[in-house]
């Protein structure tokens, strides 16, 4: 999934500890074997199997001492290859609510002929692990499984239960549209019940020189909602054009959407982001961040910051035309023209409110605006001390001086499904990525070896802190 | 039977005969039989055969005395059902150039379940013939064949040769199916066989008012050429959660908005000049004044604005381009990498496709938007002259049969097979003498029909007109 860390990397330079390689610890070697197995298990929608990968991870948990009743394999009957695993590590206080560790194990398609190396062989080269899923999202999935194994081996008895869900279908390929996270919320809600969940979507960012810029925590996602604009017309023969034309109506509507800006909205998360980034960024942009955090109607600050598309899109709902189709014959006036408008809705805003805005902006009754699917408005999770405190403490311990920056993710992860089901979900990983964001979804996906091991240590420690919280 | 009688009397008598449907002459009975056979021979692309239809017409001509050497049946390799016929009635003066009578025998699809009557059974009801092709274009095809048969039977020896070409594929193919265009095939392969000074074809007729009275008699003197242009934008794309101002769809939308507001300049070609001059008298009033004004000065913006409120006049005065197809984007959640619109342009004679393309580029005024022509587009015909040699006899016969009804040449904003002949040096005009109401007779649509009287009058008109042409020096 997309992460928002590029903007952090682009704006600041900070001192950080050098990322020099160190000798591998025995627990890291064990982790590496698990990570390798998971990356090398093909889980693409076309030919892979999440079910197989989930069983391999379950077998490792069982070997470490998990009992069968602590391991729930699930699979929707129509999607035999889209199965997943929920593991429960019991807590000692039955009244304390659990925490949930979520990761998806499916990956984006990868063609051997397009890649430099086999995408389903984990290759370590020049300080990087290469392979499909090496970053998105098998790094975090492996870390969750590995952490549970370590806790079990150590005999750790947490106050609250630790639950882990490995799911399929996050990438939503054409072959595999079964989303495991949503399926769990709809069919196994009790099994995954938790006070809050940790997921992908956050992470640290490195600048071009490999220096740590900030540790981003994703606290909220925009909701993706598409709308269809449609114009119908009696049509006619193209030799006799008339002013009333379905395609021209649609073009006018698109021009209006293009020039419309949704108003700036500031949530707790984006206020935190702007406040912290203003110090890192400094200068004119930094001042604008401070100004906008204080006054969302500051047009000047908005104009300056919104020149950067990665800031523009976290300040507001955005809608953009992504697809067009119209007409039925090259020599006939079009009887129908439609456009798909993909909107990314600010947390808490409803799709119907956005639709109403679009209708108002288009201001043409000939253009209908419909929603092919209705998704509920999903508010962002609250930024509590309970969640943020341990992240800040641990980040300062491991990477002194690196700020923790809460972020709104403009794209979406499975977190939205969990939040909608009442489980506040945060993206946090401690995995520091290069400005190329690990080439997620692209060719030659990779992750820095040191980043992976440090992120593993970070999450192992973080989950322990949460698990012993009162 | 009325040929030797005076003009007015002839017309009156003819009308009376047609209207009453009585005292049918033997030659009319023969024509009705021929027409019925042609209409009832299915020539649709899906299940019909132009070859069979033209073979049947050839058999009738042979029975009337045409020799094998005067009848050329043709088919193209691989398309055995798309055949046609060229028949020649030789002229007595070997130096005089022939005239060509062109008609297509293929018809648009017609589904029995959609029609009130069987589309391939000729039904006469309430003064109309119903059936697919009764109007488009088997009326004229039957008249051409019938006329040559009549000339041969009566021993008429024209000064110049009269050629009839019955062809297939005018209505076009369909997706996944190719049909031979016989007119183009003849132009490309048997140019000498169809050589003529000029040709007559479908595309025009007379107009009746609501009471069935003839109002105006149209002659198709020019056609627009059809050309597609692709308007296309490309972009790096990206994820839709991170929109950027530079967007392929928005660039295209802006380009289309400019195209929609752009008007090609008025071009006053011969056909328009005569059309608007004559129509000015018929229409009168403010519109009539505007017609006179625009003929005198094609730059007259006020006249153009007034006339162009009517989409038909608007299209006659200029080249038009209109967006007909739209496609863009590859995923709901991705910024579009490509956006493309198809413009359907109807180009007025005398303007080149490249000129039109350049005007579009100027109107769009965005270097990121490309305007291209798909490959394989042919040349565009030069404007046709409308000499007195062609128009004079039409006016003469028209005044005999419909006294006082003006003959008005016009430009068809669409296209027929005529352009294929014009392109190879045989200027071809649309004239039929078949009058119709404003509903268009259900051409291409359901329950296609033709007024029986109009058909018979048109037959008589053509019989007389062709004789005038054929005896020209």
Residues paired with residue B451 on neighbouring β-strands, in sequence order: B128
The number of angstroms, rounded, from the C-alpha of B219 to the middle of its chain's C-alpha atoms is 11
Residues paired with residue B206 on neighbouring β-strands, in sequence order: B217, B435
Residue B137: cis peptide before it, omega within 30 degrees of 0: yes
Q: What's the pLDDT at A376?
A: 74
d(CA B163, CA B183): 13
Residues paired with residue B56 on neighbouring β-strands, in sequence order: none
Q: Is the dihedral of CA A203, A208, A211, A213 positive or negative?
A: negative
- Alpha-carbon separation of residue B358 from A61, B231, B393 (angstroms): 70, 12, 41
A45, burial (CB in 10 Å: exposed 0-12, middle 13-18, buried 19+): buried
SS3 of residue A60 by DSSP: helix
pLDDT along chain A (470 residues), means of 10: 45 36 82 98 94 98 98 94 97 96 94 92 96 96 98 97 96 69 96 97 91 93 92 88 94 96 95 92 95 97 94 96 90 91 93 96 97 79 93 97 92 89 96 85 90 97 94
Dihedral (C-alpha) A187, A192, A197, A199: value to the nearest 10 degrees? Answer: -60
| CB-based contact B334 A322, cutoff 8 Å | yes
Chain A neighbours among B 209-238 (CB < 8 Å)? 224, 226, 228
Q: Which of B200, B169, B7 has its CA nearest to residue B75?
A: B169
Contact B202, B430 (CB under 8 A): yes
| CB-based contact B239 A251, cutoff 8 Å | no
Contacts of B250 in chain A (CB under 8 A): 254-255, 258, 321
Nearest-CA residue of chain A relative to B329?
A323
In this structure, the number of other CB atoms found within 10 A of the CB of residue A444 comes to 19
Task: Please state the φ and ψ torsions of residue A75, each to the nearest 5 degrees.
Answer: -155, 135
Q: What's the pLDDT at B412?
A: 87
d(CA A272, CA B320): 57
Chain A neighbours among B 307-336 (CB < 8 Å)? 311-312, 314-315, 320-336
SS3 of residue A339 by DSSP: strand
Q: What's the pLDDT at B13?
A: 38
d(CA B346, CA A229): 29
> Mapped to the 3 state alphabet, what secondary structure does chain B carry?
CCCCCCHHHHHHHHHHHHHHCCCCCHHHHHHHHHHHHHHHCCCCCCCCCHHHHHHHHHHHHHHCCCCHHHEEEEEECCEEEEEEEEEEECCCCCCCCCEEEEEECCCCCCCHHHCCCCCCCCEEECCEEECCCCCCCHHHHHHHHHHHHHHHHCCCCCCCCEEEEEECCCCCCECCECCCCHHHHHHHHCCCCCCCCEEEECCCCEEECCCCCEEEEEEEEEECEEEEEEEEEECCCEECCCCCCCCHHHHHHHHHHHHHHCCCCCCCCHHHHHHHHHHHHHHCHHHHHHHHHHHHCCCCHHHHHHHCCCHHHHHHCCCEEEEEEEEECCCCCEECCEEEEEEEEEECCCCCHHHHHHHHHHHHCCCCEEEECCCCCCCCCCCCCCCHHHHHHHHHHHHHHCCCCCEEEEEECCCCCHHHHHHCCCCEEECCCCEECCCHHHCCCCCCEEEHHHHHHHHHHHHHHHHHHHCCC
Segments of chain B with pLDDT less than 50: 1-21
Across A49-202, the runs of DSSP E, i.e. the strands, are: 71-74, 84-89, 99-104, 123-125, 128-130, 162-167, 196-199
Contact A190, A184 (CB under 8 A): no
d(CA A443, CA B224): 52
Q: Which of B452, B443, B435 has its CA nearest to residue B124?
A: B452
- Alpha-carbon separation of residue B317 from A204, A249, A444, B322 (angstroms): 66, 25, 60, 15
Using left for φ > 0, alpha for ψ between -120 and 50, and beta otherwise, residue A352 falls in alpha
Contact B264, B321 (CB under 8 A): yes
SS3 of residue A84 by DSSP: strand
A135, burial (CB in 10 Å: exposed 0-12, middle 13-18, buried 19+): buried
Using left for φ > 0, alpha for ψ between -120 and 50, and beta otherwise, residue A169 falls in left
Q: In what order do the strands lie in the sheet with A446-448?
A: A123-125, A128-130, A446-448
Does this model's pTM top 0.80? My answer is: no
Nearest-CA residue of chain B relative to A243?
B260
d(CA B329, CA A410): 20
Q: Which of B250, B321, B333 sits opposite A321 (nearest CB)?
A: B250
Q: Which of A318, A322, A330 sits opposite B333 (nearest CB)?
A: A322
Minimal C-alpha gap between B135 and chain A (Å): 19
Q: Which of A437, A426, A401, A428 has its CA nearest to residue A279?
A: A401
Helix (H) or strand (E) holding A272: helix A268-281
DSSP letter at A324? E
| CB-based contact B333 A330, cutoff 8 Å | no
d(CA B169, CA B53): 13
Minimal C-alpha gap between A341 and chain B (Å): 8
Minimal C-alpha gap between A312 and chain B (Å): 8
Residue A137: cis peptide before it, omega within 30 degrees of 0: yes
Q: What's the pLDDT at B20?
A: 47
| CB-based contact B324 A322, cutoff 8 Å | no
B182, burial (CB in 10 Å: exposed 0-12, middle 13-18, buried 19+): buried
Number of Cβ pairs closer than 8 Å across A and B? 157
Across A156-277, the runs of DSSP E, i.e. the strands, are: 162-167, 196-199, 203-206, 212-221, 223-232, 236-237
Helix (H) or strand (E) holding A326: strand A318-326
Nearest-CA residue of chain B relative to A408?
B241
Q: Which of A18, A63, A434, A414 has its CA nearest to residue A218?
A: A414
Residues paired with residue B218 on neighbouring β-strands, in sequence order: B408
Q: What's the pLDDT at B9?
A: 34
Q: Which of B433, B441, B470 has its CA nearest to residue B18?
A: B433
Residue to test with chain B: of A239, A312, A338, most B Cβ within 10 A: A239
| CB-based contact B244 A310, cutoff 8 Å | no
Please check whether residue B95 touches A, CB under 8 A.
no
């Amino acid at each position: 999934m997309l992460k928002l860390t590029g903007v952090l990397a682009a704006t600041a330079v900070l001192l950080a500890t050098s990322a020099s390689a160190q000798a591998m610890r025995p627990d890291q070697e064990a982790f590496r074997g698990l990570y390798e197995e998971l990356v090398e298990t093909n889980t693409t929608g076309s030919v892979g199997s999440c079910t197989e990968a989930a069983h391999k991870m379950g077998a490792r948990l069982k070997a470490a001492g998990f009992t069968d009743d602590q391991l729930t394999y699930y699979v929707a009957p129509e999607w035999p290859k889209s199965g997943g695993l929920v593991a429960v590590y019991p807590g000692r206080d039955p009244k304390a609510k659990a925490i949930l560790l979520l990761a998806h194990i499916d990956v984006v398609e990868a063609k051997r002929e397009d890649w430099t190396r086999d995408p389903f062989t984990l290759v370590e080269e020049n300080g990087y692990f290469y392979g499909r899923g090496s970053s998105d999202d098998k790094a975090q999935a492996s870390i969750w499984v590995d952490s549970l194994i370590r806790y079990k081996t150590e005999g750790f008895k947490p106050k609250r239960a630790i639950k882990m869900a490995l799911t399929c279908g996050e990438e939503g390929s054409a072959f595999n549209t079964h989303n495991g996270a949503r399926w769990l919320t709809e069919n196994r809600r009790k099994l995954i019940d938790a006070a809050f969940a940790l997921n992908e979507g956050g992470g640290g960012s490195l600048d071009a020189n490999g220096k740590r810029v900030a540790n981003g925590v994703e606290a909220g996602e925009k909701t993706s909602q598409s709308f269809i604009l449609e114009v119908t017309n009696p049509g006619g023969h193209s030799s006799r054009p008339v002013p009333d034309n379905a395609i021209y109506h649609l073009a006018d509507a698109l021009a209006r959407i293009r020039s419309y800006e949704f108003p700036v909205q500031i949530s707790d998360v984006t206020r935190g982001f702007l406040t912290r980034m203003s110090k890192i960024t400094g200068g004119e942009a930094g001042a604008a961040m401070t100004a906008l955090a204080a006054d969302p109607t500051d047009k000047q600050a908005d104009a300056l910051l919104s020149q950067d598309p990665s800031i523009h899109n976290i300040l507001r709902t955005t809608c953009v035309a992504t697809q067009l189709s119209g007409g039925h014959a090259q020599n006939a006036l079009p009887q129908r023209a439609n456009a798909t408008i993909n909107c990314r809705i600010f947390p808490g805003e409803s799709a119907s409110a956005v639709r109403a805005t679009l209708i108002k902006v288009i201001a043409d009754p000939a253009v209908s605006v419909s929603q092919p699917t209705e998704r509920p408005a999903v508010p962002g999770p609250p930024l509590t001390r309970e969640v943020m405190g341990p992240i800040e403490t641990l980040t300062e311990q491991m990477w002194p001086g690196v700020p923790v920056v809460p972020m709104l993710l403009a794209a979406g992860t499975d977190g939205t499904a969990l939040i909608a089901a009442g489980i506040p979900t945060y993206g946090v990983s401690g995995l520091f990525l290069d400005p190329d964001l690990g080439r997620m979804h692209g060719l030659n996906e990779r992750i820095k070896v040191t980043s992976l091991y440090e992120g593993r240590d970070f999450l192992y420690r973080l989950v322990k802190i949460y698990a012993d919280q009162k | 039977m009325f040929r030797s009688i005076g003009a007015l009397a002839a017309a009156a008598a003819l009308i009376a005969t047609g209207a009453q449907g009585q005292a049918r002459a033997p030659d009319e009975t023969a024509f009705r039989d021929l027409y019925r056979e042609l209409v009832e021979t299915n020539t649709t692309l899906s299940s019909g055969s132009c070859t069979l239809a033209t073979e049947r017409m050839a058999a009738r001509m042979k029975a009337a005395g045409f020799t094998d050497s005067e009848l050329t049946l043709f088919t193209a390799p691989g398309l055995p059902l798309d055949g046609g016929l060229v028949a020649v009635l030789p002229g007595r003066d070997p130096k005089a150039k022939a005239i060509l009578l062109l008609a297509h025998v293929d018809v648009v699809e017609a589904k029995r379940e959609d029609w009130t009557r069987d589309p391939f059974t000729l039904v006469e009801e309430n003064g109309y013939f119903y059936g697919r092709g009764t109007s488009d274009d088997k009326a004229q095809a039957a008249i051409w064949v019938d006329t040559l048969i009549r000339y041969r039977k009566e021993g008429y020896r024209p000064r110049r040769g009269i050629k009839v070409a019955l062809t297939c594929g005018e209505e076009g193919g369909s997706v996944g199916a190719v049909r031979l265009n016989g007119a183009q095939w003849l132009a490309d392969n048997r140019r000498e066989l169809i050589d003529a000074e000029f040709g007559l074809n479908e595309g025009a007729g007379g107009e009746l008012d609501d009471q069935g009275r003839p109002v105006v008699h149209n002659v198709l003197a020019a056609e627009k050429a059809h050309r597609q242009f692709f308007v296309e934008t490309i972009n790096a794309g990206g994820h839709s959660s991170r929109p950027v101002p530079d967007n392929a769809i928005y660039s295209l939308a802006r380009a289309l908005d400019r195209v929609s507001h752009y008007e090609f300049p008025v071009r006053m070609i011969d056909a328009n000049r005569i059309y608007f001059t004559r129509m000015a008298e018929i229409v009168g009033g403010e519109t009539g004044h505007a017609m006179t004004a625009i003929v005198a000065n094609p730059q007259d913006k006020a006249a153009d604005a007034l006339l162009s409120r009517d989409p038909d006049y608007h299209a006659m005065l200029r080249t038009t381009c209109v967006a007909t197809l739209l496609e863009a984007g590859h995923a709901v959640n991705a910024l579009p990498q490509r956006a493309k619109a198809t413009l359907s342009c109807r180009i007025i004679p005398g303007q080149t496709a490249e000129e039109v393309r350049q005007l579009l580029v100027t109107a769009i005024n965005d270097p990121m938007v490309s305007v291209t022509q798909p490959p394989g587009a042919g040349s565009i015909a030069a404007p046709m002259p409308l000499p007195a040699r062609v128009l004079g006899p039409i006016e003469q016969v028209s005044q005999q049969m419909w006294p006082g009804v003006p003959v008005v040449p016009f430009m068809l904003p669409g296209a027929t097979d005529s352009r294929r002949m014009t392109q190879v040096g045989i200027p071809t005009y649309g004239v039929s003498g078949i009058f119709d109401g404003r509903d268009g007779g259900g051409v291409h649509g359901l329950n296609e029909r033709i007024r029986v009287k109009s058909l018979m009058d048109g037959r008589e008109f053509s019989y007389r007109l062709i004789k005038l042409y054929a005896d020209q020096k």
